[in-house]
Amino acid sequence: MKMKIAVCDDDRLQRHYLREIVLAWAKRNCHLVELKQYANAQAFLFDFAEEKDFDILLLDVEMQEINGVALAKKVRRENQVVQIIFVTGFYEYFGDGFDVSALHYLIKPIDAAKLEPVLDRAVNGMTLRKRSVLVVTQEGSVKIPLADILYIEAERVYIVVHTMQGNYRTRITLLKFCAELDDTFFKIHRSFVVGLMHIKIITKTSVTLINGDLLPISRGMYDKVHAALIKYL
């Protein structure tokens, strides 16, 4: 697979160390990788303004001026599908990953045994996010990438597919439509199936999505939803 990867870390030795692990992993798995290194968030954002086609970002959390979390939030405003992997020495940043749908947090020190399985997951995620479903509406058939679907809402014999670009209503059962989805989606309520990648906040009774929509969680479902979310992360 061909992919574009960025390593952003203000520690030069760490930056080069991560680069060597990534390139060795890519060679072993026959991936063609374009890898760019950045010493700070500003340097990355300068390139990102012109090149938004990164597939994987390896971001140090603790950087001067703009940290990795703030950088990821800026990226997410313009790119919903890039796989973000945080590298940090502190566990307290873990919760911030929900805001940017981070793939994983890696706790320093990093080695190949920790990083390579996460890179494999990133590739699998890239493959899944390229999949689309065809939604037949009154206006015509619309091809929707799975990565764009925030959630699906059941309305009797219809469903509404909610995306960041708009909503699409089609006559099909929720059960039948969900057969076209993958395990990045989870049924949280009899009327709602949500894209795990788009969950920002989860409580005992609801989830809040990145667009601000609040959806209910069925009674007794919190633990299952939470477990699915942790597995996805």
Taking only the tens place, the pLDDT of each residue in 139-182 is 889 888 888 899 999 998 899 999 988 899 999 999 999 988 88
Provide the H-helix boundaries in the chain: 12-28, 41-48, 68-76, 97-100, 112-129, 174-178, 222-232
200, exposed or middle or buried, with CB in 10 Å at 0-12, 13-18, 19+? middle
* The length of the chain, given as a count of residues: 233
Same domain, yes or no, for 33 and 117? yes
- Read off the DSSP letter of residue 81: S
C-beta atoms surrounding 62 within 10 Å:
16
Strand, coil or helix: 29: coil
Boundary-marking domain end, from 105, 129, 153:
129
- Give per-residue pLDDT as tens, 196-225: 888 889 999 999 998 899 999 999 999 999
Residue 90 structural domain = 2-129
Q: Which two tokens stand for residue 52?
A: 């938004």
pLDDT above 90 as % of the chain: 54
Max distance between CA atoms of the chain, in angstroms, equals: 58
Predicted pLDDT at 116: 95
Boundary-marking domain end, from 71, 95, 129:
129
- Give per-residue pLDDT as tens, 42-99: 999 999 999 888 999 999 988 888 888 899 989 988 887 889 999 887 666 555 555 6
Same domain, yes or no, for 118 and 144? no
Same domain, yes or no, for 125 and 10? yes
Taking the whole predicted model, whether its pTM rises above 0.85 is answered as no
Same domain, yes or no, for 123 and 157? no
Same domain, yes or no, for 116 and 33? yes
CATH number at residue 87: 3.40.50.2300
Same domain, yes or no, for 106 and 117? yes
Contact of 179 with 206, CB cutoff 8 Å: no
The region, left, alpha or beta by phi > 0 then psi within -120 to 50, assigned to residue 166 is left
Same domain, yes or no, for 61 and 174? no
Boundary-marking domain end, from 102, 129, 156:
129
Distance CA 140, CA 142 (A): 6
Same domain, yes or no, for 83 and 107? yes
Say if residue 129's pLDDT is above 70: no
Distance CA 39, CA 123 (A): 25
**109: preceding bond cis by omega (within 30 degrees):** yes
pLDDT above 70 as % of the chain: 94
CA-wise closest residue to 232 among 199, 206, 205, 189:
199
Q: Which two tokens stand for residue 133?
A: 């479903």
CATH number at residue 208: 2.40.50.1020
Same domain, yes or no, for 12 and 116? yes
